[in-house]
Amino acid sequence: MNTIKKIGILGGTFDPPHLGHLKLATHFAKVLHLDELLLIPSGEPWQKGTGLTNAETRLQLTEAAGVDLARAFQYLGIPTQIGVDRLEIDRAGPSYAIDTAKALRERFGPNSSMTWLMGVDSLLNLPTWNSWDQLLNYVNFAVASRPHHALSLEMNPQIEVLLTLHQSINADALEKSPFGRIYLDNSLSIDLSSTHLRNQLKSSARSEIASEQIPAHALEIITNLGLYK
């Protein structure tokens, strides 16, 4: 019997990658029984403004975080394979999720289940993304709740319609669907703000904050390169 290959996609600036990213990845790897999880650092994150760490350094940090994530998976007995993909860094121009979704759909074929992992704040901001209304033609969404973001209070009509058409109550639906489903997960509530972490790292409590919130291998690179001071 042919089984559907299940791919998870976690994109972002990863400036820096932190334990929130790893918790999100670990949670959905288990819930969705992912065969493979791709960490994809953005090349030109067009919505983030200026002052970001250069793309190759962020890729290096993401690869380091991937090492820690692989060790966590091994310890927890999660069989998901982890990959760090540079396709957004190698692609010229702004890093649009729709371009990445199309490229990955072409790579993995029409029958693979591809799920974009995100926090609920990303879902709420989805209408600001380029060609956002086409994304579910290529991927599913798995959305984790976040502190201070009440979906029922902040949801605009466009997202309300999207959920009415595409929301699935159970995660199982995403495993069986190549694309077009949305699963909202309220069992995980984590903060995924790299911006907030960068600001914290400029404080006098830098070393304590870093060791508590940044994966060990990524932290080693940050320390060696003197980033975020």
Q: What is the pLDDT of residues 130-173, one digit of tens each?
A: 999 999 999 999 999 866 555 655 678 899 999 999 999 899 99
Asked whether the beta carbons of 155 and 184 are under 8 A apart, the reply is no
Token pair 């090349």 is at which residue? 43
CA angle 73, 79, 84 (to 5 degrees): 65
Give just the sign of the alpha carbon dihedral 80, 85, 18, 124.
negative
Phi and psi at residue 107, to the nearest 5°: -70, -45
Tokens of 176: 């069986």
Asked whether the beta carbons of 65 and 39 are under 8 A apart, the reply is yes
N- to C-terminal Cα distance for the chain?
A: 54
User: Strand order in 81-84's β-sheet?
Assistant: 81-84, 36-41, 6-12, 113-119, 140-144, 182-185
Q: Is the pLDDT of residue 217 over 60?
A: yes
Q: Is the pLDDT of residue 226 over 90?
A: no
pLDDT tens digits, 1-52: 458 899 999 999 999 999 999 999 999 999 999 999 999 999 887 666 567 8
Give the global pTM.
Answer: 0.92
Q: What is the mean pLDDT of the chain?
A: 89
Alpha-carbon separation of residue 15 from 59, 62, 87, 98, 217 (angstroms): 9, 9, 17, 21, 14
CA distance 176 to 113: 7
